[in-house]
Amino acid sequence: MFRAFKFIIIAALLLALAWWIGSLPGHFEAQAGGLVIDAGVPVAVFGLIVLVFVLVALVLALRGLWRLPGRLGARRQLKRKTQADQAILRSMAGLAAGDGKTAEAEARKARKYTADAPLSLLVSGNAARMQGKHDEAHGFFTALSRHRDAAFLGWHGLLHHAAQTDDHAAAADHAVAAADAYPGSVWVADRRLDLAVRRQDWPAAIALARTPAATGALCAAASGSAPDPQSALRWAKQAVKAAPMLAPARVALARALRRGGRERAARKTLLAGWQTAPQPMLADEWLSPQLDKLARAKAAQELTAGNPEHFESALLMARTSLDAKLLGEARRHAERCRQTGTRDRRFYMLLADLTDAEPGHDSEHRAALRDAVNAPEPAWVCDQCATSHAAWQPSCRQCGKPGGLIWKADAVEAAQNQIVTTAP
């Protein structure tokens, strides 16, 4: 409605203008050389208008011709960019699908259209890595790391590449560069921690640890490999402060104290550890100065006095009593173990040894041996990947998580795992 109204107004104005020009009085005469123009004023005005239009059209046409090569170039460039984008997308799809051959072929096409573009380099590096062409991958990621906005992606690729080829020194350098390119990156911090743990560079690893459990485990490891008693004691104290329930931390502190001749303090920390979280490592360290079997049984009694009802206390008392040939005591503590409802293999092994020493318990001995076969073995289990470790480690051997190993003597849960893994 508004447009129609506008059209009518413009048409009326043009008509009025034409009428006004048509009614102009007078005569126009011009002479150029032999050419004589003689016309009325309205005709001359219309001629002038037509001449202006022709000149404007001519200028526009010339300008279009002047710009034609540039426009053709831009169109060609846009076409190449579109083709590169499509190749990059197809290469990314190949990478996601695990199809390294397609990813590599499409990445090559992308480079043909946009050779040094960051995205072309990124897919090329990843495709080369997937195809096992490590030198090529290294070249692409190095080129990518020189792009200001994509430098982190270049270092990210180089770091992966170095880790894959077990070049830990290069990986550590790339991790530092990646941290500079993207300050505050959690991924880089985790990789740097992982690398420090692999190199057993405990001070560096402790500085990068983000949880008390990781700090406790790494400090315990640092204490164990410290070159001097002062450092060993300092690291061990830090380990117990960060993870007071972690047996290896308590053991590290007790050893460091014993190295310094502080036996009483060493015993105190082991007693405190047993009271809060009994674990066989604490008992081993507690009993280590005692060689006589009767003395060991007596020492075990001192250790377990602070937590007598715990299964580990009963088991330790039964084992040390049996070793000291105190069969009555061993039987009493073994029955206490049984009352906890345990299915722990160590209990059945103890029972087998006890019934072997006791006369007239042959059938019970055979039953204990039979039960021991399917009984679960307690272990240090990673809380991230559930990998079992026979001995404590500062980090998981499977996934590398530091401080993730938890002592698991949970008989029922472990027994169910055992049944699942042995089923046909």
Residues of this chain that interact with Zn ion (CB under 5 A) are: 382, 384-385, 387, 396, 398-399, 401
CB of 197 to Zn ion, least distance (A): 12
Q: Of 267 and 401, which has the nearer Cβ to Zn ion?
A: 401
CB of 401 to Zn ion, least distance (A): 5
Q: Of 288 and 388, which has the nearer Cβ to Zn ion?
A: 388
CB of 377 to Zn ion, least distance (A): 18
Q: Which two tokens stand for residue 52?
A: 């202006």
Q: Of 125 and 402, which has the nearer Cβ to Zn ion?
A: 402
Helix extents (H) in 23-40? none
Q: Of 30 and 385, which has the nearer Cβ to Zn ion?
A: 385
C-beta separation of 391 from 408 below 8 A: no
Q: Of 382 and 414, which has the nearer Cβ to Zn ion?
A: 382
List the one residue out of 391, 337, 390 whose CA is nearest residue 368.
337
Q: Of 304 and 395, which has the nearer Cβ to Zn ion?
A: 395
Q: Where do we find the tokens 């938890």?
A: 406
How many angstroms separate the CA atoms of 317 and 248, rounded? 21
CB of 156 to Zn ion, least distance (A): 23
Residue type, 14: L
How many angstroms separate the CA atoms of 370 and 420, rounded? 19
Q: Which two tokens stand for residue 302?
A: 């001192």
CB of 246 to Zn ion, least distance (A): 16
CB atoms within 10 A of CB 235: 25
List the one residue out of 287, 346, 349, 347 whose CA is nearest residue 320.
287
Q: Of 163 and 314, which has the nearer Cβ to Zn ion?
A: 163
CB of 378 to Zn ion, least distance (A): 17
Contacts of 287 (CB under 8 A, 6+ apart): 296, 299, 300, 303, 320
State the DSSP H helix or E strand holding residue 388, giving kind and residue range, or none if neither: strand 388-389
**Beta-bridge partners for 407:** 380
End-to-end Cα, the chain, rounded Å: 83
Q: Of 137 and 396, which has the nearer Cβ to Zn ion?
A: 396
CB of 179 to Zn ion, least distance (A): 24
Residue type, 38: D
How many angstroms separate the CA atoms of 411 and 409, rounded? 6
How many angstroms separate the CA atoms of 378 and 236, rounded? 25
**3-state SS assignment for residue 408:** strand
**Residue 402 main-chain phi, psi, to 5 deg:** -80, 140
Widest pairwise Cα distance in the chain? 149
CB of 394 to Zn ion, least distance (A): 12
Helix extents (H) in 146-292? 151-164, 168-181, 186-198, 202-208, 212-224, 229-242, 247-259, 263-276, 280-287
Q: Of 95 and 382, which has the nearer Cβ to Zn ion?
A: 382
C-beta separation of 347 from 375 below 8 A: yes
CB of 87 to Zn ion, least distance (A): 39
Q: Of 160 and 401, which has the nearer Cβ to Zn ion?
A: 401
CB of 192 to Zn ion, least distance (A): 18
